[in-house]
């Protein structure tokens, strides 16, 4: 062991060894891995080792596909067998809704280029797995590249390949302390202190403690997980081929062959947390006592699905812990304020996702940005609110219990809620508000006028469809009132504020009393934000964006700080409402003596609204005349009451974000995580029209100019009109032209004003021309679609500028 390394990886499981391997392979040779015991000690040694295609996040599904491809490579590079069994696998559905969901998921895989997947009938499923009962199965999805590996062999293959690239593996050496220094970290271990520029927390069951060593409280918790291995089964032993990996969504089980018997794993409804503050330091190769009574229901379903188990003994029980995050996805990336500290935690499916995690983190550390959009596993997708132990317990438990339970796009899950509420929450709830959650904050979806209304979870148009239609009509015809507490607000002030903003934003900065849409770019020319900048005219600036990106954006700002200015996050202190619709100005004129009528489009200023002093911006995501009103949290209730009273005779109606989705689609306005992501460029998304090409230097300028001047965009966002029936596109549905895949939907819904199903889609240039006939798969059904001009509603923008 040396006294200095460029990077130190803490944790010798499948994730830590993958990170080490990728760092060394990509060029950082002076790296080491420290393991307190031996490699695999923790969760890796007792994992079932299965890998499969399915993931609710298409970006993570893509990284899983990378991992599967990588396994054979590390075997060759290391000379260590990974025990690859490429058996193929299937996911089974036993209800009409779940079968519909699998058909939709199949099309999502096509959208992201995973083509070795197909739908199968119950009869085909029975042929592929003859020992399985097909009773109750409606259909399934088969993937060629599914199976399992030898868990210990795979970890040693990653480590062996890493060592061949120059990395070092140090076992039997526990990390005792982490000390942040001016240029990195001192890693205090049982065998001495190492100085390093970079530390990677791949601690697995000990990730909580390794986080606390750096003053970080990670939202992770271990939960126990059961599987059993049967004795030899004659029917299995007699098979000429190995049994496939099978996921039975109705039974909460997965199955694979193990030698001449079966391994049956269970995601039980009655979940069991274990050592929420992290495993004991002397824990490693132990297991918890099996608890068949707790998993009796799922065991019964599993034995009914595989009748051969009913007359076979159980050779081995495994009840061991894995670490989960609130949404079940990994926690990866840098931590704000902890320069050189990186997370690679909560990778509960390490043999499936470990390769993608290692690749993305190594790219991030070496090049400053991963190749793929990894926000779905970025540690910055959570904030301080997620450090609460009860929140972690509820949300991780909910994920575990629902591991094989489908979640509908319009379904609101209860764990960890309600957590944060806008001050007018109770009054809005009494008015019929139905709530969603964004980064722990309750946000309005729509207002139901009937008591005890309950939205039915569905992949198709829900029973809230007409409610949203009425809210859209109120905005187009009169005025809609929307709680906009769920936006982020950052304040920038001081002598250096303007210079810093001018470098961070690719747009021209607004003049005093004005606001501007401002794309923010990475040095590689990818999007880092679709923001709005306000110049209040008193030396104070605001940046507004997506509420759930608060920690993500603050990390970015922190990493690019300049001098002589201050930056603060106002998002929990400043809240507000928007007014949208032709009567919105009339509402304000009734309650102010200020010259609100003189405020131009994209203007901003401070006005007396009723008895309140309110910051007002004249802009609108709905495409109508609109105003955003910002007040302190203490004034939120009064502002709502004031606006509702003033608009009572002008047709005012409270609305939610579901209506805004419909309204913005009719204007072809993109949103973050759909049309705008860190994987896309300004040219692809149309954000290049806001770039100030002739201003001075800004982050990403060279890359953006190179894109502009190359004139070689492969794809761009277009608007589609879809001949839909009872379902609309939502995202990642494949787009086809004459049977060839030419793109995918980024977001979609029903345009209630236009009376049409609309979608925005990333489409090949050759299929972008207006009038091009295409097709789109929606909930598994292929429907005709056509490229139409952007902004089908009010294409000249007269309404919002009026």
Domains of the chain plus CATH, in order, are 4-375 (3.50.50.60), 416-486+574-669 (3.30.1360.120), 714-791 (2.40.30.110)
Q: Compute how many other C-beta atoms are within 10 angstroms of the C-beta atom of residue 455.
A: 19
Q: Is 102 exposed, middle or buried (0-12, 13-18, 19+ CB in 10 A)?
A: buried
Long-range CB contact pairs, 279-283, < 8 A, 24+:
279/42, 279/205, 279/206, 279/222, 279/321, 281/36, 281/174, 281/206, 283/205
Residues of the chain with pLDDT > 70, as a percent, come to 100
315 Cβ contact partners less than 8 Å away, ≥ 6 residues apart? 229, 230, 231, 261
**What does the pLDDT look like over 721-740, one tens digit per residue?**
999 999 999 999 999 999 99
Flag whether pLDDT at 766 surpasses 90: yes
Spatial separation of the C-alpha atoms in residues 400 and 412, rounded to whole Å = 16
Phi, psi for residue 109 in degrees, rounded to 5: -60, -40
Residue 252, both tokens? 């909460």
Spatial separation of the C-alpha atoms in residues 624 and 609, rounded to whole Å = 21
**What does the pLDDT look like over 591-635, one tens digit per residue?**
999 999 999 999 999 999 999 999 999 999 999 999 999 999 999
pLDDT of residue 113: 82
Mean pLDDT of the chain: 96
Question: Band of the pLDDT at 180, cuts 50, 70, 90?
Answer: very high
Question: Band of the pLDDT at 401, cuts 50, 70, 90?
Answer: very high
Residue 773, both tokens? 């006939």
Q: What angle do CA 149, 154, 158 make, to 5 degrees?
A: 150
Q: Is 746 exposed, middle or buried (0-12, 13-18, 19+ CB in 10 A)?
A: buried
pLDDT of residue 593: 93
pLDDT of residue 57: 74
- Pick from 258, 318, 314: which is nearest to 288 by CA? 318
Residue 143, both tokens? 């993937």
**What does the pLDDT look like over 649-692, one tens digit per residue?**
999 999 999 999 999 999 999 999 999 999 999 999 999 999 99
Residues of the chain with pLDDT > 90, as a percent, come to 95
Secondary structure (3-state) at 175: strand
Question: Band of the pLDDT at 56, cuts 50, 70, 90?
Answer: low
Q: pTM of the full predicted structure?
A: 0.96
Spatial separation of the C-alpha atoms in residues 631 and 638, rounded to whole Å = 10
Flag whether pLDDT at 70 surpasses 90: yes
Q: What mean pLDDT do residues 175-186 have?
A: 97
First to last CA, the chain: 70
Buried b (16+ CB within 10 A) or exposed e, 3-30: eebbbbbbbbbbbbbbbbbbbbbeebeb
Secondary structure (3-state) at 609: strand
Q: What mean pLDDT do residues 334-344 have?
A: 97
Contact 24, 162 (CB under 8 A): yes
Secondary structure (3-state) at 674: coil
Beta bridge partners of 226: 266, 319
Contact 733, 776 (CB under 8 A): yes
Q: Would strands 773-778 and 734-737 be described as parallel, antiparallel, or unpaired?
A: antiparallel
Spatial separation of the C-alpha atoms in residues 738 and 785, rounded to whole Å = 12
Question: Band of the pLDDT at 527, cuts 50, 70, 90?
Answer: very high
Contact 721, 788 (CB under 8 A): yes
**What does the pLDDT look like over 351-362, one tens digit per residue?**
999 999 999 999
Flag whether pLDDT at 23 surpasses 70: yes
Spatial separation of the C-alpha atoms in residues 601 and 256, rounded to whole Å = 62
pLDDT of residue 64: 86
User: Residue written as tokens 């997947």?
Assistant: 117
User: Residue written as tokens 């540690």?
Assistant: 379
pLDDT of residue 802: 86
Q: Any idea of the CA torsion for 106, 111, 112, 114, to the nearest 10 degrees? A: 50
């Amino acid at each position: 062991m040396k006294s200095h390394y460029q990077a130190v990886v803490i944790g010798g499981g499948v994730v830590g060894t993958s990170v080490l391997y990728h760092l060394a392979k990509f060029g950082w040779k002076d790296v080491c891995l420290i393991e307190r015991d031996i490699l695999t000690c923790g969760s890796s040694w007792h994992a079932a080792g299965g890998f499969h295609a399915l993931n609710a996040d298409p970006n993570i599904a893509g990284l899983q596909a990378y991992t599967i491809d990588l396994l054979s490579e590390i075997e060759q590079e290391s000379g260590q067998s990974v025990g690859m069994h490429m058996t193929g696998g299937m996911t089974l559905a036993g209800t009409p809704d779940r079968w519909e969901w699998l058909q939709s998921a199949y099309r999502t895989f096509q959208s992201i280029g995973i083509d070795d997947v197909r739908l199968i009938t119950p009869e085909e499923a029975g042929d592929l797995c003859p020992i399985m009962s097909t009773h109750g199965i409606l259909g399934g999805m088969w993937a060629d590249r599914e199976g399992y590996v030898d868990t210990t062999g795979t970890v040693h293959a990653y480590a062996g390949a890493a060592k061949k690239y120059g990395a070092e593996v140090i076992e039997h050496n526990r990390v005792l302390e982490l000390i942040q220094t001016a240029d990195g970290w001192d890693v205090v271990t049982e065998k001495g202190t190492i100085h390093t520029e970079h530390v990677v927390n791949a601690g697995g069951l000990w990730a909580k403690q390794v986080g606390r060593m750096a003053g970080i409280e990670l939202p992770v918790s271990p939960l126990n997980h059961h599987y059993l291995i049967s004795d030899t089964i004659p029917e299995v032993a007699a098979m000429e081929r190995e049994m496939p990996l099978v996921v039975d969504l109705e039974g909460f089980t997965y199955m694979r062959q193990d030698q001449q018997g079966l391994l049956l794993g269970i995601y039980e409804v009655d979940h069991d947390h274990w050592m929420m503050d992290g495993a004991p330091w002397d824990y490693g190769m132990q297991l918890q006592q099996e608890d068949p009574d707790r998993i009796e229901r799922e065991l019964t379903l599993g034995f009914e699905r595989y009748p051969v188990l009913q007359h076979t003994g159980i050779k081995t029980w495994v009840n061991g812990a894995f670490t989960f995050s609130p949404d079940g996805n990994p926690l990866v990336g840098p931590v704000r304020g902890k320069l050189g500290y990186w997370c690679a935690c909560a990778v509960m499916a390490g043999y499936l996702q470990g390769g993608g995690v290692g690749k993305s983190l190594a790219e991030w550390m070496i090049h400053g940005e991963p190749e793929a959009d990894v926000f779905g596993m970025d540690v910055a997708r959570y904030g301080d609110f997620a450090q609460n132990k009860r929140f972690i317990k509820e949300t991780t438990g909910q994920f575990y219990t629902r591991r094989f339970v489908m979640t509908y796009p319009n379904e609101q899950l209860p764990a960890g809620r309600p957590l944060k509420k806008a001050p007018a929450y109770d009054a809005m709830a009494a008015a019929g508000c139905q709530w969603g959650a964004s980064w722990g904050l309750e946000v309005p979806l729509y207002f139901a006028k009937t008591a005890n209304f309950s939205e039915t979870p569905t992949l198709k148009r829900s029973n809230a469809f007409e409610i949203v239609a009425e809210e859209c009509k109120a905005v187009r015809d009169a005025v809609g009132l929307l709680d906009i507490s769920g936006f982020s607000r950052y304040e920038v002030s001081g002598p250096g504020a303007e210079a810093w903003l001018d470098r961070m934003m690719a747009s021209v900065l607004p003049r005093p009393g004005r606001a501007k849409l401002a794309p923010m770019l990475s040095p590689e020319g990818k999007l880092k934000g679709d923001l709005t900048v306000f110049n209040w005219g008193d030396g104070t600036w605001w940046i507004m964006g997506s509420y759930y990106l608060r920690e993500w954006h603050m990390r970015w700002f922190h990493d690019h700080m300049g001098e002589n200015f201050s930056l603060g996050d106002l998002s929990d202190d400043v809240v507000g409402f928007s007014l949208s619709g032709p009567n919105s100005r009339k509402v304000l004129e009734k309650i102010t003596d200020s010259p609100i009528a003189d405020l131009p489009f994209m203007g901003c200023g401070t006005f007396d609204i009723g008895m309140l002093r309110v910051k007002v911006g004249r802009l609108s995501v709905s495409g109508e005349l609109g105003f955003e009103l910002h007040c302190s949290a203490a004034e939120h209730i009064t502002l709502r009451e004031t606006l509702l009273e003033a608009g009572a005779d002008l047709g005012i109606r409270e609305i939610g974000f579901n209506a805004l989705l419909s309204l913005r689609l009719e204007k072809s306005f993109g949103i973050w995580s759909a049309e705008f992501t860190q994987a896309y460029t300004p040219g692809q998304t149309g954000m290049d029209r806001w770039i100030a090409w002739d201003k001075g230097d800004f982050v990403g300028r060279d890359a953006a100019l190179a894109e502009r001047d190359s004139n070689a965009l492969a794809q761009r966002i277009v608007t589609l009109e879809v001949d839909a029936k009872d379902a609309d596109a939502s995202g990642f549905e494949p787009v086809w032209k004459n049977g060839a895949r030419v793109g995918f939907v980024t977001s979609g819904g029903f345009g209630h004003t236009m009376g049409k199903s609309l979608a925005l889609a990333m489409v090949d240039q050759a299929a972008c021309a207006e009038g091009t006939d295409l097709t789109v798969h929606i909930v598994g059904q292929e429907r005709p679609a056509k490229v139409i001009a952007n902004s089908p509603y009010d294409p000249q923008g007269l309404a919002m500028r009026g």
